Amino acid sequence: MDDFYREIIIDRYQNPHYRGELDPHDISFEDSNPLCGDELRIDLRVNGDENIIDARFSGKGCAISQASADLLLEYIQGKTLEEVKNLTKENVLELLGIELGPVRLKCALLSLKVLKAGAYGMDEASDDLVD
Ligand code: FES
């Protein structure tokens, strides 16, 4: 793993910028990583134009999942729900800057799955959201 990105991941895991809950919120969704059972919730506030004006995540998970959630929520500040729906796994991997095997990939993509399911207003998240 590249040292520079390893440092970013550890730093975001230990000192997250977007950890917490939003009350009130406009959108909230949570799901778990089926491989480990770790749960992640994301709350969003959006304005009348559907721009994201605040976002927070809560739950527990490994460094990769937590850092990925933190970096992703920073990345979507000011974006529209439509833009969020179009995010891809490549966007998240670019933010993390590392190559991941299949197990770690599930950790990294949990936040994207939760975020997109929330943006779509789904009742249940699907892996298709992050393929
Ligand atoms: Fe559970 Fe990574 S080990 S989210």
Neighbouring-strand partners of residue 30: 41
**Domains of the chain with bracketed CATH:** 2-122 (3.90.1010.10)
What's the pTM value of the predicted model, to 2 decimals?
Answer: 0.96
Per-residue pLDDT of 6-63, as tens digits, reads 899 999 999 999 999 999 999 999 999 999 999 999 999 999 999 999 999 999 999 9
pLDDT above 90 for 83: yes
pLDDT above 60 for 70: yes
Per-residue pLDDT of 84-123, as tens digits, reads 999 999 999 999 999 999 999 999 999 999 999 999 999 9
Instruction: Determine contact, residues 62/12, Cβ cutoff 8 Å.
Output: no
Rounded to whole angstroms, how far apart are CA atoms 42 and 92?
A: 16
Q: What are the phi and psi torsion angles at 56 (to 5°)?
A: -145, 150
Provide the token pair at 72.
Answer: 């992703």
Q: Which of 15, 12, 22 is nearest to 58 (CA)?
A: 22
Is the CB–ligand 1 distance for residue 65 below 6 Å? yes
The protein residue whose alpha carbon is closest to atom 3 in ligand 1 is: 62
Is the CB–ligand 1 distance for residue 54 below 6 Å? no
Rounded to whole angstroms, how far apart are CA atoms 86 and 22?
A: 24
For a mutational test of ligand 1's pocket, the pick from 30, 35, 66, 114, i.e. the residue with the most ligand atoms closer than 8 A to its C-beta, is 35
Is the CB–ligand 1 distance for residue 68 below 6 Å? no
Query: Tell me, what's the pLDDT at 1?
Result: 53
Number of Cβ within a 10 Å radius of residue 126: 13
